[in-house]
Amino acid sequence: MQSAHPTWFRRLTAYGRYLLLAPLIGFLAGISIVGILICYHGLWECVQYVVHKEHVLIVLFTLTGMLLAYGVVRVVSITKVPGSSTHKVLSAYHFGGGILRGRDTFASVLASIITIGFGGSAGFEGPSLATGGGIASVLTKKLKLHMEEIRVLTLAGAAAGFSALFRAPLTGIFFALELPYQRDLAKEAFVPATVACIVSYITSVLLLGKTMMIPFIPVPPAVPTALDVLHLVVIGAIAGFVGYCYAKLFRVMENSVFRSVVKGDWSIVLLGGLAIGALGLLDPAVLGEGDEYIHAFIIGGLKTTCWFILLTLVLKIVATCITMNFGGSGGVFFPALFLGAATGALYNMVFLGGSWNEAYVMAATAAVMAASLKTPFTGVALVAETCGPSAIIPALISSAISYFASGRFSLFINQFEHRPEEEERALDEAYYLLQECGYLKETGIKASELSIPAAFTIKRGTPATKALRILEGYRIREAPVIDEYGKLIGYVAMEDLLSLVLEDPEALVDEIIIHAPLTAFVNEDLAFIAKKLVESGEDRVYVISSDGKLVGVILRSYVLSILLEFLRKIPEIKQLTI
């Protein structure tokens, strides 16, 4: 049987194939995004024209948009899952070998145009990511590339779609690198993403002009003073809170409402459409992408009160969470931009009085993105391309504060904290598949049934040299540390013991950092234990009694084996597609 691609193509290294395919993916993504934007703007202008004549009709439009968008997904797509396209790209990258099916991509993009064009609160970066990633996935699959190459080029294609939409290639590159992991980078995608983003940017600019999604707003050069730094730290803390609230409400609705929508509950979609329309009647700023409001927030062009901006900020969070979890489709990045700009504008009005500092607004914008999306450098890159280099340092300061202040909570449930090892990835995939099927809730299997006795324990006050010999004898990396009553204090790692012994052979275990352990009580269910392992990346859970005494340990490999047994018993798993 003849190969799908010529011999000379197969002989190229993966690096060579990236350089050959990335420009083509970037060009196709750029062309596609231009077409999508033309369709969306045409629809949105028609809706605005009618609503301007009769404002109350916005309820009819949002209701129609949600029902139509949901219907498109249910009829056209294979997965039948609406919502955030960014979530789907992440799922494909982590769990689906980078495969984004053509029908799913088309349905997602069309549903997003309808959702946002009829007034739903969402962003077009989601369908742009799905478009670029879908093009790359279909192309690379037809060329029969290796799975890892498909994953990398799908991510590069998603970045190209993002770059074409915003006309901001540096932002697209950083978004591709940061999106899959909270505290790591998808380094393998750097070269193909860079090439694809540059080509898609040039294509988009040639067809649409140089005007960015957010028009360029020059910030005068200035060295931040001590007072500026104080302002930026406070902005970062406030933005961290806003980003956390946005992500928290989104995830709460995702857990409580979204699954009903996936199962085909049209009444939820109907309720969502009516709710968004009601919010739009109360405040039109929450409808659609809201790009004109973002620009006004940044330059201080809205003649309104602090209370009105605060109300807009709260309603935008609610409207976006309803849109994305009640049957609509789109993205969550652009609403984060809106929330950040509103936060910065509110800060200027409250703390600066009559003056206006665009750098503070852009710093808040980058900071909300860092908090809710866990992509700190993406926001800074967008600030650099939107306002010039003078706003970079303020954005960095506020983003760093908000990123750490908001903790590990993210909009994306399938965004890993760090790059997983093979066993970690296997558990993550098994857990995700069971969650998608709705089979991993209360299993009835308790921690006490899963745990095995710890091979040994180290008591507080043990000489470090003795503890090191124990670890070497058992050939393991870490050991639990208990007090004189058998209560778990934490665990020590071999590398810490080595460092301590080299400095002071007489030292005790207490003199090194005792790491906080991942724990579970004896009556905790397997579902919660698996969730803890996936979210933490740890390779074991220490089981404790109600009074804190160490009972045993549960290894990641054992939990994985049980989840795999569950998967084998699920008939739907063969039909499940990511």
Average pLDDT score, the chain: 85
Residue 11 has pLDDT above 70, yes or no: no
What proportion of the chain, given as a percentage, has pLDDT over 90? Answer: 41
Task: For residue 469, give both structure tokens.
Answer: 């010999």
Highest mean pLDDT (candidates 61-75, 144-158, 480-494): 61-75
The CATH number given to 7-208 is: 1.10.3080.10
> Band of the pLDDT at 332, cuts 50, 70, 90?
very high
Residue 408 DSSP one-character state: T
The residues, any chain, with a CB within 8 Å of residue 564's CB and separated by 6 or more, are 430
Q: What is the largest CA-CA distance in the chain?
A: 83
450 by Cβ neighbours in 10 Å (0-12 / 13-18 / 19+) ranks as: buried
CA distance 540 to 562: 15
Question: What integer pLDDT is reported at residue 6 of this predicted model?
Answer: 57
Using DSSP, how many helices (H) and how many strands (E) does the chain show? 24, 8
**Residue 540, CA atoms < 13 Å, CB-side half-sphere:** 20
Q: Which of 101-110, 225-234, 378-387 has the least mean pLDDT?
A: 378-387
Q: How confident is the model at residue 242 (pLDDT cuts 50, 70, 90)?
A: very high
460 pLDDT higher than 80: yes
Question: Are the C-beta atoms of residues 40 and 109 closer than 8 Å to each other?
Answer: no
Average pLDDT on 38-59 reads: 90
256 versus 128: the higher-pLDDT residue is 128
**Structural domain boundaries of the chain?**
7-208, 226-405, 422-574
CATH of domain 422-574: 3.10.580.10
Q: Kindly state the tokens that stand for 487.
A: 């209560």
pTM across the whole model: 0.77
* Integer Cα distance of 306 and 326 in angstroms: 30
Residues 76, 78, 84: CA angle, nearest 5 degrees: 85
Q: Are 473 and 535 in contact (CB under 8 A)?
A: no
- What pLDDT is attached to residue 439? 67
- For residue 1, the model assigns a pLDDT of 40
Asked if 373 and 412 touch (Cβ cutoff 8 Å), the reply is: yes
| pLDDT (0 to 100) of residue 74 | 92
Nearest Cα to Cα of residue 334 among 42, 84, 91: 84
For the segment(s) 226-405, the CATH number from 3.40.50.620, 1.10.3080.10, 3.10.20.340, 1.10.287.1770 is 1.10.3080.10
| 437: pLDDT strictly greater than 90 | no
Task: Give the pLDDT score at 571.
Answer: 57
**Distances in whole angstroms, Cα of residue 381 to Cα of each of 107, 141, 384:** 30, 32, 5
Whether the CB-CB separation of 262 and 435 falls below 8 Å is answered with no
If you average pLDDT over residues 535-542, what whole number do you get? 82
Question: Hey, do 7-208 and 226-405 end up sharing a CATH topology, with the first three levels equal?
Answer: yes
pLDDT at 326: 94
